[in-house]
């Protein structure tokens, strides 16, 4: 893993200090470049990290029912061949969010299992 050092204004440092452990995931989500309603789901996830959750809380986390319903709707439209370009882009962005969360949960599960 690469360590990056950067200077930020003190006010920003105070805001990000409580969630410093989760910054790599927050940055990864932020770099996806959301252009669709997937931003709502990304915001949900980032708000979770803003609470400085324990590893177990992250492992137990699931996106809101609204977000899950949206994914199911997009998957159904996709399976029926009725997904528009914007909806296809949204589904792709939601898949990126899911992949990021799955990756993080796998890392956390290893840490919890090893007692780290």
Q: How many domains does the chain have?
A: 1
Domain of 101? 36-114
Does 76 reside within a domain?
yes
Q: What is the mean pLDDT of residues 95-107?
A: 95
Does 5 reside within a domain?
no
Does 3 reside within a domain?
no
Q: If you ran DSSP here, which 8-state letter would residue 36 be given?
A: S
Does 58 reside within a domain?
yes
Which pLDDT belongs to residue 18? 87
Does 93 reside within a domain?
yes
Does 90 reside within a domain?
yes
Q: What is the pLDDT of residues 33-60, one digit of tens each?
A: 888 889 999 999 999 999 999 999 999 9
Does 48 reside within a domain?
yes
Q: Which secondary structure element, helix H or strand E, spans residue 78, and what is its range?
A: helix 65-79
Query: Is the sign of the CA dihedral 49, 29, 110, 66 positive or negative?
Result: positive
pLDDT greater than 80 at residue 115: no
Q: If you ran DSSP here, which 8-state letter would residue 80 be given?
A: T
Phi and psi at 31, nearest 5°, equal: -85, -5
Does 61 reside within a domain?
yes
Q: Which two tokens stand for residue 112?
A: 């919890």
């Amino acid at each position: 893993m690469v360590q990056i050092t950067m200077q930020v204004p003190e006010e920003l440092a105070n805001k990000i200090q409580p969630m410093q452990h989760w910054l790599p995931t927050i940055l990864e989500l932020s770099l996806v470049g959301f252009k669709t309603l997937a931003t709502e789901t990304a915001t949900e996830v980032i708000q979770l990290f803003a609470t400085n959750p324990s590893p177990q809380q992250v492992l137990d986390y699931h996106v809101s029912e609204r977000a899950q319903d949206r994914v199911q709707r997009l998957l159904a439209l996709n399976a029926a061949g009725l997904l528009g370009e914007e909806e296809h882009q949204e589904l792709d962005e939601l898949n990126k969010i899911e992949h990021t969360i799955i990756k993080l949960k796998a890392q956390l599960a290893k840490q919890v299992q090893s007692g780290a």
